[in-house]
Amino acid sequence: MFQEFNVTTFAIIISTAPTDNRTLTALKYAKAILAQGHQINGVFFYQHGVINANSYLQTPSDEINHLTAWDEFHKSTNTPMHLCISAAERRGLTDSNSPGYSHNIASHFTISGLGELVVLTDKADKVVQL
């Protein structure tokens, strides 16, 4: 007997900084979704979640490095990771290299706006905000 399996498409919203334990929970949750055979159409970083994209983040070697953890997740799963640029700019991130600025957004993030979140939520079966 084959058991019927419905694949669910998730959109994930990350609202917390790397210093918040919920961020790691979110990453584990995202991995678990994919391991169960479901899909993620995108991870959207909003509010303090945008800090996860700061390429200058440094972590003591005996703690989890969120920058590399998200990078590995992105590379191993090809999941699009979107950054709300307005929320990011407020928190010191920039994609600009004009005088006085230095591009500091990690390359595994796609620079997006809230409009992208509207599209993701429209196309997803379930939206989970952490």
Binding site for another protein (CB under 8 A): 13, 46-48, 84-87, 89-90, 98, 113-115, 117-119, 121-123, 127, 129
Shortest Cβ 119–another protein spacing (Å): 8
Q: 8 vs 47, which CB is nearer to another protein? A: 47
Q: How far is the CB of 17 from another protein (least distance, A)?
A: 11
CB of 127 to another protein, least distance (A): 5
Which residues are CB-neighbours of 120 under 8 A, at least 6 positions away?
Answer: 11, 41, 42, 44, 82, 127
Judged by CB, which is closer to another protein: 65, or 104?
A: 104
* CB nearer to another protein: pick between 43 and 87: 87
84 is catalytic: yes
Beta strands in 7-55, from DSSP E residues, in sequence order: 9-14, 39-45
Residues pairing with 13 in the sheet: 44, 129
Cα 4 off chain centre by:
30
Which of 84, 85, 120, 130 is flagged as catalytic? 84
CB atoms within 10 A of CB 104: 17
Q: How many CB atoms lie within 10 A of CB 55?
A: 15
Q: Which residues are catalytic?
A: 84
